[in-house]
Amino acid sequence: MGYTEHTPKIVASEKTTAVYPGTFDPITNGHIDIIQRALGLFDRVIIAIAINSQKKPLFSLKERIDLINQCFGPENDRVQVDTTSGLIVDYAEEQGACAIVRGLRAVSDFDYEFQLALMNRKLARKVDTIFLMTGFRWIYISSSIIKDAAKHNGDISGLVPIHVQKALQNKYHADYQG
């Protein structure tokens, strides 16, 4: 398969940016796995917390930003946390991103994500969608499942960073002394 006018030229000196959108309520080890693997593909990853007025997150926007920043620390200048309320593909273009990263856990995720990717491609041809399979050990977790387990005193250790585990326990169990 040869080069065509539709095949993008890859320039080694170009800095590449990808956007990883989600509500991150809260961030899980599955999210972190996707972000770390995206950093192997891109120079910079913007974690875009999508603001959706129809969702009622457990953590405030500021709390989610803080929880994410604690995962990567200030020394990692390749990870940026931001917020957006519009179309992710528009946000990606505004940021100069070449890709939107999406994590897939199961085949059931793919149908919806594929439809979104096709619409995004229609809206912005220069922004690709990259699907990364969640690491096998995280395939069954989601923020919703984590929150439900934490609410009912389930053991979520190892599924979220320790600071996220403590934040969940503080949200659900005011008497938690962690």
Q: Which residues are identified as catalytic?
A: 31, 55, 105, 143
Which contacts (CB < 8 Å, 24+ apart) does range 107-115 have?
none
Question: Rounded CA gap, 14 and 97, in Å?
Answer: 11
Contact in structure between 103 and 132 (CB atoms under 8 Å): yes
CA dihedral sign of residues 91, 41, 33, 174? negative
C-alpha distances out from residue 41 to 83, 85, 93, 130, Å: 22, 26, 18, 10
List, in sequence order, the alpha helices (H) in 49-177.
61-72, 88-94, 107-123, 143-151, 162-172
With tokens 């309320």, the residue in question is 85
Query: What distance lies between CA 96 and its chain's CA centroid?
Result: 18
